[in-house]
Every structure is written in structure tokens, then in C-alpha cells.
Structure 1
Amino acid sequence: MAKSLGRGLRLGLGIALTWAGSTFAAQPPNIVFILADDLDAAAASKMEQVKALITDPGASFQKHYVNVSLCCPSRVSTLRGQFAHNTTIYGNNAPNGGFEGTYNKGIESSTVVTWLQDAGYRTAMVGKYLNGYPNTAPSDTYIPPGWTEWYSPNGGSPYSQFDYQLNENGTSVSYGHADADYLTDVISDKAVDFIRRSVTDHPTQPFFAYVATYAPHLPATPAPRHADALPGLQAPRTNSFNEADVSDKPAWVRDAPLLTDGQVALIDEQYRKRRQSLLAVDELVKRVIDTLTELGQLENTYVFFTSDNGYHQGQHRLESGKMTAYEEDLLIPLSVRGPGVKPTATITALTANVDYAPTFVEIASAMQPDWVDGRSLVPLFKGSTVGPWRQALMISHGEVDKGTARALRYAGLLEPDDPFDKSAQATIIPMFKGLRTADDFTYVAYLNGEYELYENTKDLRQLRNRYEGASERQRAKMASWLEAIDGTGGAALRAAEERPPKGH
């Protein structure tokens, strides 16, 4: 009651008030959510502006994971605060994935965006939405519920960064191949313009900007000004790169031959291009921070930087791609700065992309449905006392969809295949469910009856599968804990995450 009343007074009077010992700002905080595409935590750590402008003056999350390492399932989890087994979105194409599957299931009717809009926020989608949008929607300029403004590609080849169309608030606008048409820069322009107009034209109304780049997703086209940057850069040669001995791995990895010199050269080329394409994303981050500073809004705005999933490049003999249960694919960056965030804070609690929605809800004093699976990160990044927290996080890989666009004009909006993704679509990688635990174990149960178990503190690169040597008690604990989490949602799921089943 007090929380809702306090927010109403803020909006109604537009002045600072004290309620139950707390001082409220004159306006609820703004939220800027910057989401990169296929950005692993290791590559993100090289982004200088993100580090200087968000990570250093804010908090960074060291154990932040996705439930499914694939674009559309992750993005739907971001919007709904639910794991894939509750959204039922497992892939990038229909029937159980992509924009088409999401639209057909009616999932867009209730998302964090509709909840924020109901709480009085202006909202903007700028950049990549869901794979295949707007395929099968009522029109090419369809705008989902909850969005005050909308700037998202609806045609052409946005993954290439040029020659695409944007749905700009219901009007399709074509962009060509000029330097000024480079998509990351256009997304930057639109985001900054929305922020500026929100502050100047709607001074009493908070805003939420969802800013989603296509970089560094392949083909990872760098901005023309960065085409010669980072000469000679190679993918990191960790001890898991082109792993010599994979005899402990499941059959789908054991069957993979060592990478050839040509495959390694391609990985190096792609790694450099990905890093080059991130230079423009770094510049986008700086423009957003500079604009908020200029408008006097930086101290009343939360800025988040993260990715939809991780990415592997050569680890365990695998070509560039995602979808696996390995750390490179599941661990993603997350940094946040804003009111009350402790500078240079390092957070080691186990967190996930399902936590964004309840975090934004708490920031906005909004309301959310009981079926939300995630939990608010606000107590963590504000250094508050945190009650029982997640001790195990469910990870999964659903059936890879093999659907195609229903109309040729949508082909460029579908996910371009990475080399590894093509292998995955050939069913080389089996479906799996598993756990990532707070005490640093990764447990994977494949549908075909194979298993993996890694003790990540001692085996950072996951070189030794410990499942065969694990005790029956440990195996049973992991299996029963996974079953308990997988079979539920909402408060019951959160309770299951906090402790293993009795008897273990």
C-alpha cells in the first residue's frame, strides 16, 4: 500500500517527498536497457566505454547466465521474466519460437513493457525485436502492445547493417548502403532522439528505452570507419581452443574432428570482425551517457548493458556459434549504473536474464503477474540485505526449429546461420536440460541419455567431465533438483531454486 501510494504522490505532485523514512525522487527513475546480440562475457570485457561509463561507476555481475543460449528464447525471457519451459518459446522459428510463435501464442499481451506503460512510463523499442518480425503479423508495420514508440527492422537485411527497412512508428522507411545508414549508428540516433524528446517534451513522465543492436552477430559488419581497426587480432587461444582430448565429452563433441587450419583462420577472421563491430556499440553507449548527462538525467537513470546470449569460437573443437551448455554460451555480461548502485561493486550471486523484468518492475514501482519466474536484482546492486537467493539455475536447449520464412521478403530478418548452428540444425547436438549452481557446478542431462558434470571453480575451461566419477548421491541430487525446478514456475520455482530437494 505504502509503495503504491508513494509513487502516486510523486507523479501527482512532481516534488520530492519523504514517506516511511525514505526520500523519493521528483520523478521515478528512467531505465535504458542496452542489449547486444551474441556477445559473450569475454568479448564484452574488452569494451572500453562500457567499462568506463557503466561498469566502473556501477555494478558488474560475475555469474549472470541465460536459460537458453539462443536469441529469441532469451529475448522472450527478458520480456516475460520466465524460463523457456514456461514461455514455451524454444527456438527462432515457428511453431515454438521466433516472432511468429510468440505472436501466435499471445505472449506479447503481457510483458514488462505493458507493465511499465501501465505504471506511467513512456516506452521505446529501438533495434532488434524477435527473430522473423513481422512475419505473419497483421501488417508489416505491426507494433506490439505496450510500446509508445517503435523503431525496429521489418525488411531487408539488417544483420548486414545495410540495406534494410525500419518500421518507424507505423511507417516503413528504407535505408541503403551509405555510411550514414549503418544500422548500429541509426539505432544510436533513434535512441538518443527518444531520450532527448522524452525529457524535453514529457518532463513529468519517466521513460524506458530498450536499445537492441544487431552487433556483434555475424556477419558482424564493422562500421566503415572501423574497417581497418584491430589489425592482426586473433581469437583467444585458451586451453579449450581446438581441444586435443575430448574423450570425456558426449558423443556429439567426440565425433567432432580437430579444427582445420582453414576453420581456425575463419574463426580468427570472425573474431576480429565481431570486435570491430563492437566499437560502434561502445560509441552508442557513450552517446547515451553523454546525452543523459547533458539533459541532467544521468543521476536519475538506470543504464543496463548486457547480451541475449554468449558465444563460442573454437572451444572444444566447435566452430563459431551458441546453443551449448558450456560457459562461453551461457555466461553473459551484465553491468548497471544508476541511483543507489554502489560504484565498482562486483556481484557474485547467481543471476539470469529472467531477472530483468522483475528488476525493472521494482525500479518503476510497477505491478507484475504472479507467474513471473525471475527475481529483482535491485537489492543486489544497491548492497541491501538479500534474503534467500537462487542456488541453482535451470539451463536448456530445446528442439532446434527448421522452419523457413513464409514469404521471401522476410528472409533477411531470420537468424543467419553460424557454422556451428548449421551443425546443430542437423541434430548433431541433442536436446538437454541442466543446472548451473551457485557453488560452480554445471550439470547437463541430454535427451539421449548422456551426461556432463563440471566443477567450474577447479576447471574453468570445462576440460574434464566429472559425471562418470561422481557419486550416486551427487548424481541423484542434481537430477532431482532439476526435476523440481523444471516442473514449476513463479514463487514455487524460486523456492525450488533456493535449496536442493530434501534427502540431498
Structure 2
Amino acid sequence: MKLAAFLLLIVSCRFGHCSRRNIVLILTDDQDVELGGMTPMKKTLTLIGDKGVTFTNAFTVTPLCCPSRSAILTGKYPHNHLVRNNSLDGNCSSAQWQKVMEPQVFSVYLKNQGYQTFYAGKYLNQYGHSTVGGTAHVPMGWDHWHGLVSDELSLFRWEIDKHWLLRQARTPMKNTSIAFLDNAFRRRWQTLLSVDDLVEKVINKLGEVKELNNTYIFYTSDHGYHTGQFSLPIDKRQLYEFDIRVPLLVRGPGIKPKQTIKEPILSIDLAPTILNIAGYDVLESMDGSSFLPLMDSSQNKTSWRTDFLVEYTGEGEDKTDPVCPNVGPGVAECFPDCVCEDAFNNTYACVRTLSKSNLQYCEFADSEFFVEVYNLTSDPHQLTNIAKTVDPSLLVKMNQRLIKLESCSGNDCRTIKREDDGFGS
């Protein structure tokens, strides 16, 4: 778990009048929502969430670090802004803000040690012992999901319901994997307690310098994470809720406290929102929209999307992993026990809709042209792929919607939502 905090000071001068707003974006790496990732963040929930808005449906548009951060910085879908090999033109740093925003922007990068190298300081003994083999205090962790998969689903049904990368995972998981994941889950939560302290320090410092009431503070993550779900060891890169849902809390001038907003917000909406706050127009090239009108009642309300695109391009080399020679070429991230987290054809595009229907439709670019469809109202854990049983007309409709979302760019992406607000109803 790493922490990047971009402190953006923006001065907006128009028509001879200058007004200054500070914007702080606190961006964590790999922080989930579905598996209790915000549970350790008591101070953050109080100091940002209770003082402003909590978005309950915030998503990344691609579940891997650099493409998702690039989407935050540019406001574009990955397929529209040259993300190749998980980079934005070979760069994935805070310097991208200078290209997107205006010269009156500076950034401060704060780093908290990742949980794999592990730094939790005074919280070393929280959530049980830090040694492998204990039981982390988790409300919905790998053990629950692992039990659902191994005990309630037959192996045959499991094999035909998910794409091949899920089918190669070993169910039930080995004890070595379970011990590894239990320790990793605990360490992530311990590290988040330190992140929570850092958030408090940033907010306290803004108060000391008399800038807190003049500052918008965003807290979010680049993507989610999994630790054993569907017997995959530990990573992101998957289309499921645990990898694509992210926390999003915002406080600032004009934002009433203790709001909960259900409209779907995407990582591509952050840059347009920050521009909007700074007094600039959303760039024509940006796919996302400003969600400032949703938070601030003084703004003109606009219609909002009910569905969106999630996509990922898989990685994998055309050679065998020497540590796992039996898994064959084309795979990547094979750990532990030689279960692989990625492959060159782990490439997919999905429509996720949150209207009267709560659905996800995904197409894979693999030799099977595999399709996965989930009704998250009746199946919130996405255990059952209904692609072969759902009404074919719905599949056609979602495929057409997917084509639209994949082909749009800039303002066209923002107008799609206004034309098709009834999709999925």
C-alpha cells in the first residue's frame, strides 16, 4: 500500500478578479472498498467523509496502476490516450498535472512504504500478530470468498462460468497461499492506519495555516485489490467489483457535510472536476465530466451517466516463467504456488450499468471470445455468469452499448450519457 498525495495550488484569475482555491488530491495505491479497505480509515472517514461527500459508486476505468492514474490525470479512457505497456507515453508521474492543468499548479509527492516491504510503525500489533498463520480481523476477506467458491460451487460449474485465467486458479487454495494472504491482508490494514494518520496531519496543517476552509480535499485510490477472491492470490487486473470499485470522499467550500451520492463516478472524472473547481472549462479532449454540480447545490445540475466502460489490456511474455515452467508461455504475475494473475489475452472491455438494472457485461479478446454477464442485484459477489441464460436481446443491447463507449472520445463520451439515460431500465 503506497500513498501519493498531490497538493495542487491553483490560482484562477478571470475578468480582473482573482480567487484562490487549494485542491488536495490524496491518492492511495491498491485500496479496495469491497473487502473493507476503508475500515481502518476512521480519521479519514470523519475528517473528509463526514465533512463532505461520500460517493458509494466510484470506479476505476482500468484496474492497473499506471493506466488508472493516467486516467485520473488526463480525464481520458485508456484506449484514447496512448496507454501502452501500462504507461502514458512512457511516463506515469505527477508531472502529468502540468500538462493537463495550468502553470499555477504545484504538486507534493508523499510516500508511505508499501505493505509488501511493510511499514506500519506503532501499528505493528494491530489486527492480530504480524506473523504468518494468524487470522486477520476482516469483515469480508479472502476466507469468506474462498469458502463460497470451494464449498458452494461445483468445480464443473466453476470451470464453465469464468474466463480461462480464473479457471487455472487452484480451488481449494493451498495452505501456503492461505497463510500468505492472511498475512498480506493484515499488513495492508496495519499500513492503512499509518495512511490514516498522514491524512489527519495534512488536514491539521491546512487548519494551522488558515487554509482548510478554502481547500477542496479529495481522497481516493487508483483501483481496488483482491486477496484470494475466486482463488486468485493477490493483485488487481480483473473486471470484478473488488478490483474496480474505489473509495471517493470529498470535502470543500460549498459542499454540505454528511452527503452520500450514488451516481457512478469514474477516475476519468477527477481531472475535469479539478479544472471546474479552478474556474477552467473542461478540455474538449477529456472523456470524463465534472462532478462538482453533484456535490455543490449552488452549481447548475446536469444529467449524469447510468453506465460506463471498464477495460484492460493483459500482459504476458512469449516465454515460460522459469519459476513456474508448467504454466506455459504468455502468462505473468505467477505467485504464489504458480497461480498466474495475468496473461497477454487477459484483455477485456465491459459495460457496467447502475440504473434500474445493476448489470455487468464483459467481452474478452481471447481465442474463446469469452463473455461474462452478472446481475449484481441478485448476485452481488459475481459468482454466477448468466451469459448463456440471459435474454439474447439484452446481450445485443449491451454489446451495442459497449461498441459506443469504446469508440467515443472527448465530448462525445459526455453526450452519450445524456442520449441514453434509459439504458438498462
Question: Which TM-score band applies after superposition, normalised by the shorter structure?
Answer: 0.7 to 0.9
The C-alpha deviation readout for 1:84-129, integer Å capped at 9, x for no partner, is 0111214xxxxx43366248xxx999x54345334xx3411414xx
User: What is the CA–CA distance in structure 2 between the aligned matches of 1:304 and 1:436, rounded to whole Å?
Assistant: 24
2:54 aligned partner: 60
Match of 1:424 among 341, 358, 380: 341
User: What is the CA–CA distance in structure 2 between the aligned matches of 1:286 and 1:108, rounded to whole Å?
Assistant: 22
Alignment of 1:488 onto 2:403: no
1:198 aligned partner: none
1:28 aligned partner: 20
Amino acid at match of 1:253: L
Alignment of 1:292 onto 2:206: yes
Please, what is the CA RMSD of the aligned residues?
2.9
Amino acid at match of 2:365: L
**Superposition pairs of residues 239-258 of structure 1, within 5 angstroms:** 239-242=144-147, 243-244=149-150, 245=153, 246-247=158-159, 248-258=161-171
In structure 1, the gaps of 5 or more residues are 12-26, 91-95, 128-182, 185-213, 404-415
In structure 2, relative to structure 1, the CA distance for the partners of 1:319 and 1:116 (3 Å cut) is same
User: What is the CA–CA distance in structure 2 between the aligned matches of 1:342 and 1:438, rounded to whole Å?
Assistant: 25
- Contact conserved, 2:70 with 2:88, CA < 8 A, in 1? no
2:229 aligned partner: 315
In structure 2, relative to structure 1, the CA distance for the partners of 1:279 and 1:457 (3 Å cut) is same
User: What is the CA–CA distance in structure 2 between the aligned matches of 1:292 and 1:34, rounded to whole Å?
Assistant: 14
Alignment of 1:362 onto 2:285: no
- Contact conserved, 2:74 with 2:100, CA < 8 A, in 1? no
Aligned to 1:442, the other structure's residue is in SS state: strand
The C-alpha deviation readout for 1:273-309, integer Å capped at 9, x for no partner, is 1111111110110001111111111111001100011
Aligned length: 376
In structure 2, relative to structure 1, the CA distance for the partners of 1:422 and 1:336 (3 Å cut) is farther
Alignment of 1:338 onto 2:252: yes
User: What is the CA–CA distance in structure 1 between the aligned matches of 2:16 and 2:266, rounded to whole Å?
Assistant: 33
The C-alpha deviation readout for 1:434-454, integer Å capped at 9, x for no partner, is 111123211110112111111
Deviation at 1:389, TM superposition (A): 1.4
Deviation at 1:367, TM superposition (A): 4.2
- Contact conserved, 2:53 with 2:256, CA < 8 A, in 1? yes
Match of 1:9 among 13, 16, 19: 16
Match of 1:443 among 356, 361, 366: 361
The C-alpha deviation readout for 1:242-261, integer Å capped at 9, x for no partner, is 51222422232233221112
Alignment of 1:101 onto 2:90: yes
Amino acid at match of 1:327: E
2:124 aligned partner: 227
1:387 aligned partner: 302
User: What is the CA–CA distance in structure 2 between the aligned matches of 1:117 and 1:430, rounded to whole Å?
Assistant: 37
Match of 1:37 among 29, 39, 49: 29
User: What is the CA–CA distance in structure 2 between the aligned matches of 1:8 and 1:437, rounded to whole Å?
Assistant: 41
User: What is the CA–CA distance in structure 1 between the aligned matches of 2:256 and 2:106, rounded to whole Å?
Assistant: 26
User: What is the CA–CA distance in structure 1 between the aligned matches of 2:401 and 2:20, rounded to whole Å?
Assistant: 39
In structure 2, relative to structure 1, the CA distance for the partners of 1:272 and 1:8 (3 Å cut) is farther
- Contact conserved, 2:49 with 2:249, CA < 8 A, in 1? yes
1:399 aligned partner: 314
Alignment of 1:301 onto 2:290: no
In structure 2, relative to structure 1, the CA distance for the partners of 1:365 and 1:330 (3 Å cut) is same
Deviation at 1:230, TM superposition (A): 2.1
Aligned to 1:305, the other structure's residue is in SS state: strand
Match of 2:102 among 104, 117, 121: 117
Amino acid at match of 1:289: I
In structure 2, relative to structure 1, the CA distance for the partners of 1:480 and 1:223 (3 Å cut) is same
**Superposition pairs of residues 127-276 of structure 1, within 5 angstroms:** 127=110, 183-184=111-112, 215=114, 218-219=115-116, 221-231=118-128, 232-235=135-138, 236-237=140-141, 239-242=144-147, 243-244=149-150, 245=153, 246-247=158-159, 248-258=161-171, 259-276=173-190
User: Which region of structure 1 is more displaced relative to structure 2, 493-502 or 364-373?
Assistant: 493-502
Amino acid at match of 2:341: A
Amino acid at match of 1:249: K
Aligned to 1:468, the other structure's residue is in SS state: coil
Amino acid at match of 2:360: T
Amino acid at match of 1:124: S
Match of 1:459 among 376, 379, 385: 379
- Contact conserved, 1:443 with 1:454, CA < 8 A, in 2? yes
Deviation at 1:316, TM superposition (A): 1.2
User: What is the CA–CA distance in structure 2 between the aligned matches of 1:36 and 1:262, rounded to whole Å?
Assistant: 28
Amino acid at match of 2:170: P
User: What is the CA–CA distance in structure 2 between the aligned matches of 1:226 and 1:379, rounded to whole Å?
Assistant: 39
User: What is the CA–CA distance in structure 1 between the aligned matches of 2:233 and 2:251, rounded to whole Å?
Assistant: 35
- Contact conserved, 2:12 with 2:20, CA < 8 A, in 1? no
User: What is the CA–CA distance in structure 2 between the aligned matches of 1:40 and 1:316, rounded to whole Å?
Assistant: 16
User: What is the CA–CA distance in structure 2 between the aligned matches of 1:5 and 1:330, rounded to whole Å?
Assistant: 34
The C-alpha deviation readout for 1:28-63, integer Å capped at 9, x for no partner, is 210000000101113124311111100111101111
- Contact conserved, 2:55 with 2:260, CA < 8 A, in 1? yes
User: What is the CA–CA distance in structure 2 between the aligned matches of 1:357 and 1:401, rounded to whole Å?
Assistant: 31
In structure 2, relative to structure 1, the CA distance for the partners of 1:57 and 1:418 (3 Å cut) is farther
2:326 aligned partner: none
State, as a whole percentage, how many aligned pairs show the same letter: 28
- Contact conserved, 1:79 with 1:357, CA < 8 A, in 2? yes
Aligned to 1:222, the other structure's residue is in SS state: coil
- Contact conserved, 1:484 with 1:501, CA < 8 A, in 2? no
User: What is the CA–CA distance in structure 2 between the aligned matches of 1:31 and 1:502, rounded to whole Å?
Assistant: 34
In structure 2, the gaps of 5 or more residues are 1-10, 129-134, 319-331
Aligned to 1:291, the other structure's residue is in SS state: helix
User: Which region of structure 1 is more displaced relative to structure 2, 458-467 or 266-275?
Assistant: 458-467
User: What is the CA–CA distance in structure 2 between the aligned matches of 1:381 and 1:241, rounded to whole Å?
Assistant: 38
Aligned to 1:34, the other structure's residue is in SS state: strand
Amino acid at match of 2:284: D
In structure 2, relative to structure 1, the CA distance for the partners of 1:297 and 1:108 (3 Å cut) is closer
User: What is the CA–CA distance in structure 1 between the aligned matches of 2:268 and 2:53, rounded to whole Å?
Assistant: 18
Deviation at 1:503, TM superposition (A): 11
User: What is the CA–CA distance in structure 1 between the aligned matches of 2:289 and 2:282, rounded to whole Å?
Assistant: 11
Match of 1:474 among 384, 394, 412: 394
Q: TM-score, normalised by structure 2?
A: 0.81
User: Which region of structure 1 is more displaced relative to structure 2, 44-53 or 379-388?
Assistant: 379-388
User: What is the CA–CA distance in structure 2 between the aligned matches of 1:394 and 1:320, rounded to whole Å?
Assistant: 24
User: What is the CA–CA distance in structure 1 between the aligned matches of 2:423 and 2:56, rounded to whole Å?
Assistant: 30
Q: TM-score, normalised by structure 1?
A: 0.69
Alignment of 1:126 onto 2:109: yes
Match of 2:67 among 62, 65, 73: 73
